[in-house]
Amino acid sequence: MESYQLPQTKIEQFQTEGYTFIPDFFSQDEVAAMRVELERFKSEGLGRNVATDGDGKTHSTTKINYQIIPLNDKSTLFRALPFNPKVISAIGQLIGTPFVRHLDQIFLKPGRTGAGTSWHTDNAYFKISDPTKGTGMWVALHDATLANGTLHVIPRSHLETFEHERDPGSDHHITFRADDQRAVPIELPAGGAIFFNYGIGHGTTANNTDNERAGLAYHFLRADYIPENYPALKSMVYLTGPETTGGEREYGVKIEGTWSDEVQRLSNPTRP
């Protein structure tokens, strides 16, 4: 398998601060392919607005937080992405092996009406015994800036415990109250990726620009930290270790090795 080495400073940042980021993790061809699929998702109505008018129930007509989840059953490109050798190498260096793909989704914020996602930790949903053994990988599908509501993180917040409650601005999310002064916004060009462990408090803000902004999120978990009788186990995909079959067991077909072909098919369909 092709090897990719994260800078040691980035590994140390992840280990101590709970997060790190790589501005050029995905190539422009890879970003172009992902955007093609995003446009298809939109045209086929494969997502929904999860923003509400503040009661947690009534969907908002003025704020939009468009969620597409899951992705692997809708796109062979996004199904193949976790098998990208660069992704596998990076995740292994951050959380160790063997690990599984835990979850995948996209959040799209339209221009001017795009609502943020409130402060939360992923482990408030997942309830893993050690949140540092899982990581989110948040990928900017468009340039992510302060103006359009890029991801914010609270460094070292995995060392704390936060009481979550229902988020009235969403039809299903939970949230906690945070000191915004502690937040670190991470601006990234399209294709940049942020990695943060399951215990890191994070969120996004509103999109105040005229253009849409989308963030792609994958979650990866060390296989030896999957809880016993975990409800999400049957949707997880082994990416490394003795249990992996390159996706054949989970999907009925070999997925490993298809990422480059999927990118080529979508980003440059006329290239010989």
With residues binned 3-state (H G I as helix, E B as strand, rest as coil), the percentages for the chain, rounded to 5, are: 30, 25, 45
Instruction: Tell which residue, 102, 118, 91, has the closest CA to residue 202.
Output: 118
Residue 96 pLDDT > 80:
yes
Cβ neighbors of 161 (< 8 A, separation 6 or more) are: none
Instruction: Tell which residue, 76, 101, 70, 46, has the closest CA to residue 252.
Output: 76
Residue 111 pLDDT > 60:
yes
Residue 270 pLDDT > 90:
no
- Give the per-residue pLDDT at 157: 98
Domain ranges of the chain: 8-267
Q: What CATH topology corresponds to 8-267?
A: Jelly Rolls (2.60.120)
Residue 271 pLDDT > 60:
no
Residue 269 pLDDT > 90:
no
Residue 35 pLDDT > 60:
yes
- Taking only the tens place, the pLDDT of each residue in 144-177 is 999 999 999 999 999 999 999 999 999 999 999 9
- Give the per-residue pLDDT at 122: 98
The encoded tokens of residue 244 equal: 């992996």
- Taking only the tens place, the pLDDT of each residue in 195-216 is 999 999 999 999 999 999 999 9
Average pLDDT, integer, range 68-75: 98
Average pLDDT, integer, range 47-71: 97
Q: Three-state SS for 44?
A: coil
Average pLDDT, integer, range 97-105: 98
The pLDDT confidence band at residue 2, using thresholds 50, 70 and 90, is low
Residue 1 pLDDT > 50:
no
Query: Taking the model in full, what pTM does it have?
Result: 0.97
* Largest distance between two CA atoms of the chain: 55
* Cis geometry, peptide bond prior to residue 70 (ω within 30 degrees of 0): yes
Q: Three-state SS for 195?
A: strand
- Give the per-residue pLDDT at 90: 98
- Taking only the tens place, the pLDDT of each residue in 206-249 is 999 999 999 999 999 999 999 999 999 999 999 999 999 999 99
